[in-house]
Amino acid sequence: MSRWKQQPIVCAALVILNVLVFVICIFTGEFLYDKGGLDVYNVLVKGEYGRILWAMFLHADTHHLFNNMILLFFEGAIIEKETGHVKFALLYFLSGICSGIVSLAYKVMMNDMAMSVGASGAVFGLDGVLLSMALLWREGLSELTPAKIGLLVVLSLYGGFAGQNIDNAAHVGGLAAGFAAGCIVCLLQRRKKRTNGMDQ
């Protein structure tokens, strides 16, 4: 049983699901994008709030998919091993949902009716979780220093702001949510260890 706990089961399942959805999109054209893309009109006017979640599984092209899935798998595997399957899933989806909400708020402010898709908001959330773990969860993560993770975050943000047609609000929202949630998980874990130590 412990061997399965060490395997990135949720992370691998998310990657497979994203790839399967992309393959379906290849054969169905714009159907899933029309039904699940994140935009102000469909979410806030028509009340299709599920799009905040569905958009996390849609990608514009193979390059978009590949970049997100590579980061999801390697970063996610590290986090899932340390936090467990359930906490990892919660951190991932919380980051993705918060990134979608921030994206929508920014679109409203800018009167932007464009549609966004992709898992990058949730993936940026994983960056935030890793940064929190580098700062607060030192056991077993000696190679993941705050400086290294901080550089990764800066380069990732720079790549987004330097590109075109990038939903940077989603990236920032996911990053902030992942960092905040990661800090809470790390602090709770430290408290649990102190309590267990006192009990012994």
The count of other CB atoms within 10 Å of the CB of residue 110 is 11
CA pair distance 99, 112, nearest whole angstrom = 16
Say if CB 176 and CB 82 are below 8 A apart: no
CA dist 200 and 198 (Å) reads 5
171 is catalytic: yes
From 95, 99, 103, 171, active-site residue? 171
59 within 8 A of 22, measured Cβ to Cβ: yes
Spatial CB neighbours of 183, under 8 Å, sequence gap ≥ 6: 132, 135, 136
**Known catalytic residue at 2:** no
Cα separation of 144 and 131, whole Å?
A: 9
Residue among 99, 103, 116, 120 flagged as catalytic: 120
Residues taking part in catalysis: 120, 171
